[in-house]
Amino acid sequence: MHEVLIAPSILSADFSGLGEEIRSVEAAGADWIHIDVMDGNFVPNITIGPVVVKSIRSASKLPFDVHLMISHPQSYIEPFAKAGSDIITFHIEAENDPVEVIRLIKYFKKKVGVSIRPKTGVKAIEKILPMVDMVLVMTVEPGFAGQGFIYDCLPKIEELRKIFKKDIQVDGGLNESTALEVITAGANVIVAGSSVFGTKDYAGAIKKLRGGA
Ligand code: DX5
Ligand code: ZN
């Protein structure tokens, strides 16, 4: 059994006081800080770059879990690594050579995650599974917070857990009830945007996501 970790996604935080939001969520019991990086190309939205990661680094001691939703991850591993990322996750659907992206992330001594979109099967990452520390299964189309959980993705988590013993992270539409479904299917890292930052009680929200209401 894997320990369940909660990674609040700052995409749903109040950006006018991002440092304070991060301090609050750490005090509320978060395990990782999930940072959504979007380039307006791989996904139809633009969010956070390395300068922001660098500036919020001092707000928390928690691992920075950086989710790259960008077309050319290879070109941005170095700046995100140097800005203070601890885990760098890229999408298998991005145009670069995944083996080279993994090599670069490891070169900077960061943990490697690979992510699959809702319509991408486990087969697409099978060959590189031995090279990564984490798989991120998207349960919404990447791009925006606050979307509904895609239940069709659940069997993929079960399939993956049979062949992958490290961290399985799930991202998109997770709340108390869908988090329980993905944990039962074999996931152990819960990303949550609106169901944490959309509430007034971050500690209560995190506790519920862990399954300990
Ligand atoms: C979506 C992002 C998610 C998002 C999750 O593309 O990768 O991390 O912030 O938000 P919720 O939990 O609201 O679906
Ligand atoms: Zn994300």
Whole-angstrom distance, CA of residue 133 vs CA of residue 193 = 23
171 lines ligand 1 (CB under 6 A): yes
Each residue of 100-152: pLDDT tens digit? 999 999 999 999 999 999 999 999 999 999 999 999 999 999 999 999 999 99
Rounded alpha-carbon distances, angstroms, from residue 38 to 35, 60, 161, 178, 202: 10, 22, 28, 24, 25
* Sign of the alpha-carbon torsion through 113, 16, 145, 29: positive
| Residue 212 confidence (pLDDT) | 57
Q: What atom in ligand 1 is closest to the CA of residue 192?
A: 12
How far away, in angstroms, is 34 Cα from ligand 2 center?
7
Q: What atom in ligand 1 is closest to the CA of residue 138?
A: 7
Strand partners, 138: 171
Strands (E), 15-163: 33-38, 64-69, 87-91, 111-116, 134-138
Q: What atom in ligand 1 is closest to the CA of residue 146?
A: 13
| Residue 211 confidence (pLDDT) | 87
173 lines ligand 1 (CB under 6 A): yes
| Residue 61 confidence (pLDDT) | 98
How far away, in angstroms, is 207 Cα from ligand 2 center?
20
How far away, in angstroms, is 105 Cα from ligand 1 center?
23
Kindly report the average pLDDT of the chain as a whole number: 97
Which residues carry out catalysis? Answer: 36, 171
* Low-confidence spans in the chain with pLDDT less than 70: 212-213
How far away, in angstroms, is 169 Cα from ligand 1 center?
12
β-pairing, 134-138 vs 189-192, is: unpaired
pTM: 0.98
Q: Is 42 helix (H, G, I), strand (E, B) or coil?
A: coil
| Residue 64 confidence (pLDDT) | 99
60 lines ligand 1 (CB under 6 A): no
Backbone torsions φ then ψ of 36, nearest 5 degrees? -95, 115
